[in-house]
Chain A
Amino acid sequence: GQQLNQSPQSMFIQEGEDVSMNCTSSSIFNTWLWYKQDPGEGPVLLIALYKAGELTSNGRLTAQFGITRKDSFLNISASIPSDVGIYFCAGHRNTGGFKTIFGAGTRLFVKA
């Protein structure tokens, strides 16, 4: 079945550092999504990407839809303590029935 490989699994960084995480798949996706989950809450959408090559920013967050449509990355610049949480990538295909596949998540820890 379809799977997303998200890396790294976890990151321990110092406040102010930049962060990069990515997702790869053996399948092509029409849409890539990046969510953040705070402790005790449900995931919240950060960025949605709809076209191969698309680069989108949301404040300190930047995400790109890979040219091959099989990968995506998320960068966070100048991290702050409230960036702590789990970041999930998700790929969506329009064909073969609706299904959004989630990556395993990247746990981000930021030390002040």
Chain B
Amino acid sequence: DAGVIQSPRHEVTEMGQEVTLRCKPISGHNSLFWYRQTMMRGLELLIYFNNNVPIDDSGMPEDRFSAKMPNASFSTLKIQPSEPRDSAVYFCASSLLGGGGDTQYFGPGTRLTVL
């Protein structure tokens, strides 16, 4: 079975540009998570969806970040405008139930570099 799919794997852009990261969760999973990983701050939860509805977006750093889940098989994380401090690896993860410490399956990540 395919795991969580993320695209692109690498993105290099210039400051001020819009960046869109994409995620396809594992089929049948009803929860989706977006994380950001940096050396300084480690792994941070940005937003969590359950049944396509955003449940907790308290980790979204600021209004430049937005996430959508239009259906059960697709989600996007958008940064507009991007800034150099947004450079990080962004992970998408999905889980079957979304509660009780349910196992999260991570995608391979998108390495974003903002120049």
| Chain A interface residues toward B at CB < 8 A | 30-33, 40-45, 48, 50, 88, 92, 94, 97-105
Contact = CB atoms under 8 A, between A and B. Distances in A.
Given A48-B101, A98-B56, A42 B106 contact: yes
Most chain A CB within 10 A, of B50, B91, B101, is at: B101
A44 B43 CA distance: 13
A36 to B, nearest CB: 11
Contacts of A48: 101, 103
27 contacts: A30-B101, A31-B100, A31-B101, A33-B101, A33-B103, A40-B108, A40-B109, A41-B106, A42-B107, A42-B108, A43-B43, A48-B103, A50-B100, A97-B56, A98-B48, A98-B50, A98-B55, A98-B56, A98-B98, A98-B99, A99-B48, A100-B101, A102-B42, A102-B45, A103-B42, A104-B42, A105-B43
B99 A94 contact: yes
A45 B103 contact: yes
Contacts of B103: 33, 45, 48
A102 B41 CA distance: 10
Nearest to A4: B42
Interface string B94-105: 000011110111
Greatest chain A CB density within 10 A among B48, B91, B104 is at: B104
B9 to A, nearest CB: 9
A44 B56 contact: no
Contacts of B45: 99-102
A24 B4 CA distance: 30
Q: Which 10 A-B pairs have the closest CB atoms?
A: A31-B101, A42-B106, A92-B101, A102-B43, A104-B42, A45-B103, A43-B106, A42-B91, A97-B56, A42-B109
Contacts of A45: 103-105
Interface in B59-115: 91, 93, 98-101, 103-109
B100 A94 contact: yes
A95 to B, nearest CB: 11
A102 B101 CA distance: 12
